[in-house]
Structure 1
């Protein structure tokens, strides 16, 4: 239900009469606020809860959790801020495969026109309103790693928060008297329905303290429910999207090329032939090229790194060329 609500809300924003840049900035603000709220809840509820049980485990959780958070924030910022890559204006294009019908300019290989940006995008995958940016040659890696680290971070929160939630919603039963809740006050059981006029200031203060604790517990439960709904919805949506994009990366194609390659494969099969994606160098090589680590270590993926992709996005080697150097 929460996913449907967010989808309807986003669709409504896109249909409003506000300027396009304002509407799209709203999505970035929403992502930032939701992320900040989940982090706040994790610190506000999870940190003291785990610290009371094991300071050592808490320190380890802080290190792992903040490592994930830094990666999430870094890759989201880079996905939003990094220019996706455009064909040069007025410059020579080394290789053109067609003419853009909207720009009336030559298009390099793997370049497509974005109707939202109203520009041709190098190695375009799609336009992402949550980034207020296209996903293409220069920020594709950041977009994917943002999804991966977000999904891992949500799993981290859910795994280490489920016990807290269980104890919050299923606490030990308090004593009862004739079916009515009671409170303990210096070993004396006093029904809450009893008049409070005869009580001392200390007893009234104790009742006020208990009322404040009850209100705080209700607030905590609301926060847990909110965090749970957001985490489940985000994990489901981003997890499925990340898994799908991982398949595309494994095959060396973008989401646009996946449709093109599917159509070409059907045409070739009808002719008794086999179509091969010209940018598919095998799963291992495809991942190295996508992550930009063919000549770099895996540490560039585990920690924030602003290294760019291979090539300028204007020319592309294919399986028909010599081995990539």
Structure 2
């Protein structure tokens, strides 16, 4: 008689279950890929499909939101200027009238440039290719407009048309940044950063006293404007002390009356004692610091692109080309050198000067038409 002894192998069971599950997963994956196979399928393609609702929202509603953004920029800038005059002017006039005059003149010069360049950036057309005209310099055909597309021209999905030397569509301007208004856009950012930096430096001591010194030390009987002239005050120990000695008698019982000196109240202490003014200081601090870091970073990025002779769109395209080509094989044809790039961008040709046409508001247009471009082989002197 043969006796058979059975043994249960747990490892073989788990191995078989794992293999079965893996096989089913492969079957599902193979079925999915068989039904949805696309040679263009990639991670970028999947991301684009997931972001398609956001693109649709931007394309259909960015035009309406742009008007709201323009109103917000105008309102917030006006609020900051009003608060600067309301609080900063009395504070600096108390410290130094001569310094106040300088700050007012310098601040209004910055404000003039901010307002001018923002208005011009909003109202100036970025430039469009001529409709129905034969463009000899056309580099390609726009797939959406079905029309000739000059070099450095790109199609804006928000404006639904091609834009000459397009940089990007800016909702804060409610306009595209292109060939004719790129200088206004950049100088607006630069002067806005300079303006908030000026306010931060001029109001640093005031903000420090209001938000830190007086907030932590408190207002005592020596500096509380609400208790000036009151017959009694409450000192730090909680004991009532007289502000004025009502009567003092000499040895011959004759009365003698005299006053105690009333402490001087500074403008910073008055602002701290006023809840509305103190909230205004907090608002100014938050707004100026936010604009300084956000717009300052954006200004640096655009300044780097200008130094390279490229727009924001071209910077992404050129970055890809630099990765796929060696440095000797790829060169941006519109990069004429840092100094020339800045001169061309700011329009400092044909006798224009930095003092008159950059430091002061100037509506001068860029050279050329935006349809054809000079490359690294052409010098500035050869420009019309």
Matches within 5 A, 1:53-72: 53-72=95-114
Helix, strand or coil at the partner of 1:120: strand
Q: Deviations over 1:50-109 (max 9, x none)?
A: 011111110100100000000000000000000110000111213011100000001000
**Residue 26 of structure 2: aligned partner:** none
> How many equivalent pairs are there?
288
Q: Deviations over 1:283-303 (max 9, x none)?
A: 000000000012311120000
Q: Deviations over 1:14-68 (max 9, x none)?
A: 9599965332200100100110010011000001110111111101001000000
Q: Is 2:338 aligned against 1:283? A: yes
Q: Is the 8 A contact 2:166 2:311 kept in 1?
A: yes
Q: Is the 8 A contact 1:109 1:314 kept in 2?
A: yes
Helix, strand or coil at the partner of 2:176: strand
**Residue 249 of structure 1: aligned partner:** 306
Write the distance in 2 (CA, Å) between the matches of 1:109 and 1:15.
29
Distance 1:17 1:284, change over 3 A: closer
**Residue 274 of structure 1: aligned partner:** 329
Q: Is 2:130 aligned against 1:88? A: yes
Q: Is the 8 A contact 2:210 2:272 kept in 1?
A: no
Q: Is the 8 A contact 1:71 1:149 kept in 2?
A: yes
Distance 1:187 1:262, change over 3 A: same
- Out of 361, 364, 367, the position equivalent to 1:310 is 367
Q: Is the 8 A contact 2:156 2:162 kept in 1?
A: yes
Q: Deviations over 1:201-259 (max 9, x none)?
A: xxxxxxxxxxxx78961111101111111111111110000000000000100011111
Structure 1 unaligned blocks of 5 or more: 1-11, 177-181, 195-212
Q: Which moved more, 1:54-63 or 1:213-222?
A: 213-222
Kindly indicate whether structure 1 or structure 2 has the higher relative contact order, using CA contacts under 8 Å at least 6 residues apart: 1
Write the distance in 2 (CA, Å) between the matches of 1:184 and 1:95.
78
Q: Is the 8 A contact 2:114 2:191 kept in 1?
A: yes
State TM-score, norm by structure 1: 0.82
Helix, strand or coil at the partner of 1:89: coil
Distance 1:72 1:316, change over 3 A: same
RMSD: 2.7
Write the distance in 2 (CA, Å) between the matches of 1:154 and 1:184.
36
Q: Is the 8 A contact 1:114 1:121 kept in 2?
A: yes
Q: Is the 8 A contact 1:27 1:129 kept in 2?
A: yes
Distance 1:220 1:174, change over 3 A: closer
Write the distance in 2 (CA, Å) between the matches of 1:16 and 1:255.
19
Distance 1:33 1:214, change over 3 A: closer
Write the distance in 2 (CA, Å) between the matches of 1:73 and 1:229.
21
Q: Which moved more, 1:44-53 or 1:214-223?
A: 214-223
Matches within 5 A, 1:93-104: 93-104=135-146
How far is the alpha carbon of 1:266 from its aligned partner?
A: 1.9
Distance 1:215 1:163, change over 3 A: closer
Q: Is the 8 A contact 1:154 1:235 kept in 2?
A: yes
Structure 2 unaligned blocks of 5 or more: 1-53, 240-269
Write the distance in 2 (CA, Å) between the matches of 1:75 and 1:184.
48
Helix, strand or coil at the partner of 1:29: helix
State TM-score, norm by structure 2: 0.70
- Out of 290, 294, 299, the position equivalent to 2:349 is 294
